[in-house]
Amino acid sequence: MTANRKDDREALDRLMSVMVDDLLNMPEEELIAETLSEGHNPTEEAEAIRAVIEQAARACGQSRLKAAKNAVAAGRAKQNQNVVRLDASAARQRLAAILAQNVDSGVSLAARNQSQLSDADVFGMLADLKELGIALEKKTPESES
């Protein structure tokens, strides 16, 4: 029974695709003539279809936004658990080294109204980098080979 329903749905999808392709490939004049022959106003029909498409696009966007809101709410409780075990001076050196290594390899960093970084800021940035999968450990000759 379930298999039959699936087959039916796939058959219907194929039929819809054929009909849509048929419409898309039809010359504009022919489409207008056919619409007129059926007693419809082509401009009104086009506007109605455009409204349906816009409504569908809006609904799709709203659905994406709703999913994002739910994900944000679900993730709110989750804090960055990454602990960076370095002293402040070493942490600053590591951050500078990581950014120097990554200038040409895709790390993005921007800060608004940036002034001097506190130790807490530096540790926070290292924790963010760790969460994003950037290795904080110093590369040794062995690890690079």
Partner 1 sequence: MTTVSHAEQMLQELGIGQPAEIDLEAIAYTLGAQVRYRPLDGCEARIIGSNGSAIITVNSRSSRMRQRFSIGHEIGHWRYHRGRILVCRPEDIGRSGDWSSLSPERIADGFAADLIMPWYLFLPRARQNPRLTFQVVRTLADVFDVSPEAAAIRLIESRLYPSILVCHAAGGRKWFRASPEVPTRWFPQAELDPDSYAFDILFGTRPDDAAPHKIGADAWFDSSEAQYYEIQEQTIRTGDRRILTLLTLNHSRMLEDR
Closest approach of partner 1 to the CB of residue 126, in Å: 10
123 binds partner 1 (CB under 8 A): no
3 or 120: CB nearest partner 1 = 120
The number of residues in the chain equals: 145
- The two structure tokens encoding residue 100: 């120097």
Is 136 within 8 Å of 84 (Cβ atoms)?
Answer: yes
35 or 93: CB nearest partner 1 = 93
Please give the Cα distance from 120 to 122 (Å, whole number): 5
Which of the ranges 13-21, 22-30, 31-39, 89-97 carries the binding residues for partner 1, by CB under 8 A? 89-97
Residue 71: DSSP 8-state:
H
Residue selected from 26, 128, 135, 138 as contacting partner 1 according to rule CB under 8 A: 128
Closest approach of partner 1 to the CB of residue 11, in Å: 32
| Helix orientation angle between 28-37 and 42-75, rounded to the nearest 10 degrees | 110
Residue selected from 27, 133, 141, 142 as contacting partner 1 according to rule CB under 8 A: 133
Residue type, 136: L
Angle at 22 between CA 61 and CA 60, to 5 degrees: 5
Question: What distance, in Å, lies between the first and last C-alpha atoms of the chain?
Answer: 58
Closest approach of partner 1 to the CB of residue 137, in Å: 16
Closest approach of partner 1 to the CB of residue 52, in Å: 15
Is 136 within 8 Å of 98 (Cβ atoms)?
Answer: yes
| Residues making contact with partner 1 (CB under 8 A) | 57-62, 64-65, 68-69, 71-72, 75, 80, 92-93, 95-97, 99-100, 102-103, 106-118, 120-122, 124-125, 128-129, 131-134
